[in-house]
Amino acid sequence: MCGIVGYVGPKEAQPILIDCLKRLEYRGYDSAGIAIGGDEINVYKTEGEIAVLEAGMPQMPGVVGIAHTRWATQGRPTTENAHPFQGCEKGVAVVHNGIISNFMELRESLAGDGHNFSSETDTEVFAHLVEAELKEDSDLLETVRIALKRVEGTYAFAVVAPGRPEVVAARNESPLVIGVGNGENFLASDVTALLKYTNRIIYVQDGETVRITKDSVTIMDADGAEVKRAPERIAWSLEDAEKGGYPHFMLKEIFEQPAAIHDSFLGRIDAVEGDEPFLDGGSFSSVKIVACGTSYNAGLVGKYIIEELARVPVTVQISSEYRYSAAARENPLVVLITQSGETLDTIAAAREATKRGNRTLAIVNVTGSAITREVDHVIYTRAGPEIGVAATKTFVTQLVALYLLAIELGTMGRTLTAQAKRSIVGQLRNLPRSVQDVLNQAGTIEAMAQKYSGARDMFFIGRNLQYPIAMEGALKTKEISYIHGEGYPAGELKHGPLALLSKDTPVVAIVTNDRTYEKMIANISEVSARGSPVIAIADANDTEIIKYADDVIFLRETPSLFSPVPVIVALQLWAYHLAKARGCPIDKPRNIAKTVTVE
C-alpha cells in the first residue's frame, strides 16, 4: 500500500530517492521520509505529500539511502509515525511495507530491555530489533536475518546503517524489486519507480534477504543459501509511465486502451486459431473465479463469457472470502485475477486453492509478480504500467484475457465449432476499433458528465453481461468523483432501490441491443416514473431510446458478447469527467491505493 525505494552508487542519493519516490505517489500515502547513510544516518520525515517533504528537508549528502511513502495502517498519519524509523542509538534506519502481527509482544520485550519508542507503529520495533543485534564487526545482512526470526507477519524491509555502503532488504508477501544499474543499484516496491534509471529488474521472492552495494547484488534464501538470479529486462519505458501530455494518468491510460487490447491478444489469437492449448493436462468440472475490487467485476463479466462460449459452470468469489468458504466436492479450475500480482488476499486464495488440490490460473499484468509463483498457469494482460489508482486499461485487458480463456475452454470442451471460433476471434480483433470510436466521443461524454456532476448519489443499471459493467461504472464513479455510486441488475430496482430515486438521483442505464433490451426499456420507464433523470448508453442505431432517456451516449453497435468493452470505456470517461468537474484528485483518490498488500 505504500512505497519503498533504496539507492547505492556513486551519485548523491537524496535527489535520486526523491525522484523515485514521486513515481510511487499513485500507490496512495499520507506521509513520507528519507534516510541518507554515511558515518551517521540522517533522517527527515513529515506528514503529508512528498512536496512537503521536499520543501522542508535540508541538504543530506551521501551516496546510500532509503526513502518511503506511508499509508497509515498502524498508528495515525503523523510525522512521528512516518518512516524511516531508528533505534535508541539513532544508528540503523528502517522502512517497511506490511504488518508485523506480533509487534505488541516484541515491543513489550524490547521495552523490558530498555528500549524507548517514539511512535505508535509496528515498524519501529524492527529498527530496535536490528539495533539490538548489530555490533561494530557484524554483517548487516546476517544481522537482519537474525532479527527477522523474531518477526511474524508480512513485510518488505529496507535497512541502512552508519558507515556501511549498502542497503539490506527482505521480503515476505509484500512486493520488492532490485534495479540493476551500471556502478549503482536500486531497490523499490514497484518497477515504475526505477524506469528512469534502469530496465534490468530482479524480483525478490518471499523469504529472501538481499544486499545491494554499488557494484554487487547478493540474494539469500530463507535457509541462508545464496541465490543466483539473472535480471529481467522490462519492456516498459519511462515514457510509458509518464503522462505524455495528458492532464492525468487516468485519462492517458483510458486513451491507451486500443493499443493495450491489441498488445494483450497479439500472438495469442494465432495460437487460439491454431488450437495450441495453454491449459495442458489435468481435468476440472467447473471454473471458480477469485478476485477483489475491479478485478472481481471483471470476473463477473468472465462468468457470462465462459458460460456462453464453453458451457462450463462458473462461480465468482471475493478473494478475502474464499479462504473461509468450505471446500466443495467439485474440482474447479481456480482463476485468480489481480492487476498487480501482489494483492495479498488473492495470493492467499491461490495458496488455498493449491491446498485443495485445484488447478490454478492467474490473470495478471506484472511479469514476475508474487502470484505467478503460486499458480500452475499465467495469462499476462500486457497492459503496460498503470499509474492511476483507478484501474482502466488493466480492467479491459483482463476482459480480453477472459475472452481468450473462454475460447480455450470452449475448444477443449468442443462447445465451439471451428466456424464459431473464427467468428468470435474476428470480433475480438475488432475491439480496438470499437474502443477508439468511444474515445472519439470524449467531448460529448465530458459535456454530459458536467451536467450531472452536482449529484450526490447515482445508480448504474444493466442486465446480463452489462450488470457487472454497471457495477464497475459505479465503482469508478465513487472512487474518483466521490459521488456515491451503486451498480444494480436492473431487475432488482423494485426490490428496494426504487425507494431512493428522486429528481436528484441520476440513473445511468446500459441499454445495448441484446435479448434484454425490452426489459431494460421497462426498467427505464420505472425510473422515469419516479422523476429520476436517465442517462442511457445505447447503440447508435437505436432510434427508440430517446423517447425514454433524458440524455444518451450513443456507441457503435458491437456484438453483444463484446459490448462490455466499449461500454466500460464510456463509463470510465464518464467517471473521469465527473471527477474533473468536481475538482477531485483524480490519480490519487483519498484513502485508497493501487496495490493492496495487507489483508
- Catalytic residue positions, numbered: 2, 594
Per the structure block, which three cell numbers stand in for 405? 480463456
- Scanning 334-417, the segments in alpha helix (DSSP H) are 344-355, 393-412
Per DSSP, 93 falls in state E
User: Cα–Cα distance between 389 and 249 in angstroms, integer?
Assistant: 9
Q: How many other β-carbons are positioned within 10 Å of the β-carbon of residue 476?
A: 28
DSSP lists the bridge partners of residue 315 as 288
3-state secondary structure 254-306: HHCHHHHHHHHHCCHHHHHHCCCCCCCCCCCCEEEEEECHHHHHHHHHHHHHH
Angstrom distances, CA of residue 318 to CA of 15, 278, 301, 352, 492: 41, 25, 14, 13, 21
Per DSSP, 173 falls in state B
In three-state secondary structure terms, 18 is: helix
Task: Tell how many helices (H) and how many strands (E) occur in the chain.
Answer: 18, 25
User: Cα–Cα distance between 257 and 437 in angstroms, integer?
Assistant: 12
Handedness of CA 562, 567, 573, 578 (dihedral sign): negative
User: Cα–Cα distance between 193 and 286 in angstroms, integer?
Assistant: 40
Do 227 and 220 meet the contact criterion of CB atoms below 8 Å apart?
A: yes
User: Cα–Cα distance between 415 and 437 in angstroms, integer?
Assistant: 32
Interstrand relation of 332-338 and 377-380 (parallel, antiparallel or unpaired): unpaired
Do 159 and 167 meet the contact criterion of CB atoms below 8 Å apart?
A: yes
Per the structure block, which three cell numbers stand in for 351? 495458496
| Pick from 582, 594, 588: nearest CA to 482 | 582
Do 491 and 463 meet the contact criterion of CB atoms below 8 Å apart?
A: yes
- Scanning 323-440, the segments in alpha helix (DSSP H) are 344-355, 393-412, 418-429, 431-439
Torsion angle in degrees (nearest 10) through CA of 134, 139, 145, 147: 0
| Pick from 190, 155, 172, 179: nearest CA to 27 | 190
**φ, ψ for residue 364, nearest 5 deg:** -150, 155
* The residue type at 562: F
Residue 55 burial (C-beta neighbours within 10 Å; 0-12, 13-18, 19+)? exposed
Do 448 and 455 meet the contact criterion of CB atoms below 8 Å apart?
A: no
Do 126 and 96 meet the contact criterion of CB atoms below 8 Å apart?
A: yes
In three-state secondary structure terms, 454 is: coil
User: Cα–Cα distance between 9 and 381 in angstroms, integer?
Assistant: 34
User: Cα–Cα distance between 340 and 190 in angstroms, integer?
Assistant: 10
Q: How many other β-carbons are positioned within 10 Å of the β-carbon of residue 113?
A: 8
